[in-house]
Amino acid sequence: MGKNGMMERRERADAARNRQAILEAAEELLREHPPEQVSVERVAAAAGVGKGTVFHRFGSRLGLMQALMAERALVLQEAATSGPPPLGPGASPGERLEAFLDGVVKLAMRNVGLITAQEHAQATRKDSAPRQESPIYLFWHEHVSGLLAEARPDVDADLIAHLILSSLHTEPVAALLRAGDGERLAVCFRQLVTAVAG
């Protein structure tokens, strides 16, 4: 391998290390501080990189928060598509839907600071895309609506999935999550699934 190839591989390794350091710094700061206090400058300083590196890698504070959330959501997505039942294939649609919504609640509970920061960053940007266009939301909606349609072909699964998922972004639900009362939300989701999917 030539000198240029080695340098390119070293640069890629440095970029990957920087990316991981930035994400870890953001996560740590979100555990310790209110979301509105977690700026790109603070994240860059905690990660030991320049502010320009954060902007170059993630584009904006919102991009950083979305990348961090995407990493967290990927674990749930992989479990839902190829993990063991009841979350993964092999269980009934109703069981899978309950398990998935339980997973969503657990994810939200573990990442309430991150979700709040992402919502804050999105609200303060005029040019941000609607939440329904994010890859996380698109997968969640497709998965929930698909399971609903399988369990109950007679209902409007598409709209019901939007109603269920949009409830996660209401203030009463956000307050429950911030208060650490995710189990109440999980129980309500289970009751909803039983009522709709049987």
The domains of the chain are located at 1-59, 60-197
Q: Which two tokens mark 36? A: 């509105």
The tens place of each residue's pLDDT in the chain, 198 residues long, gives: 556 666 566 668 888 899 999 999 998 898 888 878 889 999 999 999 999 999 999 998 888 988 888 888 999 999 999 999 999 999 999 999 999 999 999 998 888 777 776 666 666 666 555 666 788 899 999 999 999 999 999 999 999 999 999 998 888 998 898 888 999 999 999 999 999 987
CATH pick for 1-59 out of 3.30.390.30, 1.10.150.120, 1.10.10.60, 3.40.50.2300: 1.10.10.60
Helices (H), 1-92: 3-32, 40-47, 51-58, 61-82
SS3 at position 43: helix
Q: What is the dihedral of CA 59, 62, 66, 68, to 10 degrees?
A: 80
Q: What is the DSSP letter of 155?
A: S
Report how far residue 122's alpha carbon sits from residue 126's, in angstroms, rounded to the nearest whole number: 8
- Under 8 Å between Cβ of 80 and 102: no
Architecture of domain 60-197: Orthogonal Bundle (1.10)
Report how far residue 72's alpha carbon sits from residue 162's, in angstroms, rounded to the nearest whole number: 21
Query: In degrees, to the nearest 5, what angle opens at C-alpha 193 toward C-alphas 73 and 181?
Result: 60
